[in-house]
Chains A and B, each alone.
Chain A
Amino acid sequence: MIRLRSLITYGLLCIAAFVSVFPFFWMLIGTTNTSADIIRGKITFGGELATNIANFVAQVDVARVLFNSAYLAIATSVLTLLVSSLAGYGFEMFRSKFRERIFAGLLLMLSVPFAALMIPLFVMMARAGLINTYAAIMLPGIASIFIIFYFRQSTKAFPHELRDAAKIDGLKEWQIFLHIYLPVMRSTYAAATIIVFMANWNNYLWPLIVLQTNEMKTITLVISSLASAYYPDFGVVMVGTVLATLPTLIVFFLLQRLFVQGMLGSVK
């Protein structure tokens, strides 16, 4: 009985593992095959890696594109974490009559899909003269409702007495935030960093609309334009995809330990 149960459990886990790992595997295989082989569904490694890389480098200004993506993702992430964690801290630390109502209002806004905001947002950015600038991409996301929510929930575990102790020790509110809250909540920050960095690095739709010149484009936009060419070379697309995946993997593995802690609740 127990053996049957564990057989089923492991069977299901194997299927789930296969489903999540296969796309990565296929992506890696794709980098070594010709476009024609990929379309035919070949799932063994081929010998075209060097050619595909050469073609990719020939078609794309790799350094420029990576720099754009990194600059956007890092700057937006830092600003989002700063602004949204401040908001989460404020919502939890300060009592006010309207606190719960404002917060409920914010959560309600989460249900508005981005597609509905896109056109008004575009008009706003156009009026402000921000089309084809990175500011247009960063500004709408900095106050992220989800991250504010996440920080507020995590802050519930932050002992108020720490803030009291710091006040008696002579710290101003901003010093408490910077020197006590931030280090104590570092695993929450790590988890939020991963979420925000990935979201920004992979951001596609809004940059596609706002960025108009080639020298501004990010790697997701470049890959998509490669893939939507008249005769897309999927080997080259796969090389680009691998390149686009690496940074998020690196960030994840760097922060993995803290990320897990952050998900479990950061204050011990």
Chain B
Amino acid sequence: MSGLELRDIRKSYGSHQVIRGVDLDIKAGAFVVFVGPSGCGKSTLLRMIAGLEEISGGDLLIGGTRMNDVDASKRGIAMVFQSYALYPHLTVRENMGFALKYAGTPKAEIDKQVNDAAQVLGLGALMDRRPKDLSGGQRQRVAIGRAIVRHPQVFLFDEPLSNLDAELRVNMRIEIARLHKELGSTIIYVTHDQVEAMTLADQIVVLRDGVIEQTGSPLTLYDDPDNQFVAGFLGSPKMNFVAATVTAEGLQLAEFGGQVIPMPPISSAPAVGTNVTVGLRPELFKRGGPAAFEVTVEIVEHLGGETYAHARQGAGAVLTIATDDGRSLRTGDTVTVHFDPARALIFDTNGDRLR
């Protein structure tokens, strides 16, 4: 297992810059997840690490060695693709042993490696089938097996679970987490599934338009985002953003009857009169209480354990409220909710966090 260093990595197609200077340290053995909106360059960055796209600028180091111009097969990486990319004309066994065969590994050694990987992934009974005779989950398992057989320093996954149904996705997610524990390899994993990112990652990297917005542990990013984009991107349902104005008493919420809440604890409070955005996680809201808002429920989503209510006051902004005692909520109900102002986040008009 090796770590990676990305130093000012850039990629352009013609004059169009897709990756615009990415600096990133990945520790050996870490599970790193790239997230970001569609088109932000996650796949491109991963493919540059893999050696499938040329690097237009910057340095890529894997295990301390500069790899910019090293062939994809010699970087010590293995990749699992969204479409699995299994060779359709080969059996599972041949698929898994393919790279070793090309590397000139003796047949007995290939058999051993392939059987070991098959054992780890429970593929025993499928070894002589072709990919088209496998289910989606089985194909994904074979694709992972093919990667394991090469004993890579770094595993690269590009949205590996997005073609699977919800239940299988959960199972495979757990399996990937287990594999990471067993193999101890470095993993870089691209997804736009929140839950995958939060549950799998040691370190999440949030990308937007080819630059890193923030990187850190899942809970750090969730609790302490650097900017409004990261705050809005992580978390489901999304964080509420409410417009507010700074006054001498605290923050005045124009869309909630001009109600004033105390200023959350930040080191340098902005000047009176500044417009800011207050970020409130849906689960922050509690029913009733002092200094409560009165809101009207517009849409209720009952998930069983939890309830999401989309509610607002008059024509104001819609608040998403997550609560676990919301079974009785109905559209049109008027409810009072409050939140702990100390846990509200504040962003300036550029979207940067004020701390």
Contact = CB atoms under 8 A, between A and B. Distances in A.
A164 B79 CA distance: 9
B81 A161 contact: yes
A261 to B, nearest CB: 13
A167 B87 contact: no
A236 to B, nearest CB: 47
B162 interface: no
B103 interface: yes
B30 to A, nearest CB: 21
A159 B83 contact: yes
Interface residues of B, number: 25
Interface stretch (A40-48, A143-151, A168-176, A216-224): A168-176
Nearest to B81: A161
A244 B275 CA distance: 88
Nearest to B78: A168
Contacts of A183: 89
Interface residues of A, number: 18
B89 A165 contact: no
Given A167-B52, A170-B99, A170-B102, A184 B88 contact: yes
Contact of A168 (B52, B83, B86, B89): B52
A169 B98 contact: yes
A36 B77 CA distance: 78
A241 to B, nearest CB: 39
Given A183-B89, A268-B132, A168 B79 contact: yes
A165 B85 contact: yes
Interface in B65-124: 71-74, 77-79, 81-83, 85-89, 98-99, 102-103
Given A168-B52, A168-B77, A162 B85 contact: yes
A180 B72 CA distance: 17
Contacts of A159: 83, 85
A195 interface: no
A162 B52 CA distance: 12
A117 to B, nearest CB: 38
A168 B73 contact: yes
Interface of A is mostly: helix
A166 to B, nearest CB: 8
A258 interface: no
B295 interface: no
B73 A164 contact: no
Nearest to A170: B73
A106 interface: no
B50 interface: yes
A267 interface: yes
Contacts of B71: 170
A83 to B, nearest CB: 23
B226 to A, nearest CB: 34
Nearest to B104: A170
A264 to B, nearest CB: 15
Interface string A179-195: 01001101000000000
Given A159-B83, A164-B81, A268-B132, A169 B73 contact: yes
Given A159-B83, A161-B81, A167 B72 contact: yes
Contacts of B77: 168
A152 to B, nearest CB: 20
A164 B156 CA distance: 13
A166 B52 CA distance: 11
Given A161-B83, A164-B52, A165-B79, A267 B88 contact: yes
A170 B50 CA distance: 12
Contacts of B82: 161
A170 B100 CA distance: 9
Nearest to B89: A183
A169 B88 contact: no
A268 B88 contact: yes
Contacts of A171: 73, 102
A161 B143 CA distance: 12
Contacts of B81: 161, 164-165
B46 to A, nearest CB: 11
A240 to B, nearest CB: 41
A107 to B, nearest CB: 25
Contacts of A180: 87
A167 to B, nearest CB: 5
A169 B103 CA distance: 8
Contacts of B88: 184, 267-268
A167 B74 CA distance: 10
A96 B150 CA distance: 33
A41 B32 CA distance: 83
Contact of B99 (A164, A169, A186, A268): A169
Contacts of B78: 168
Interface in A111-170: 159, 161-162, 164-170
12 contacts: A159-B83, A161-B82, A164-B52, A165-B86, A165-B87, A167-B51, A167-B72, A168-B72, A168-B73, A169-B99, A184-B87, A268-B132
Interface of A: 159, 161-162, 164-171, 175, 180, 183-184, 186, 267-268
Given A161-B83, A184-B88, 4 more contacts: A168-B50, A170-B102, A175-B102, A268-B88
In the A-B complex, the 4 residue pairs with the smallest Cβ-Cβ separation, listed nearest first, are A170-B73, A169-B99, A161-B85, A165-B85
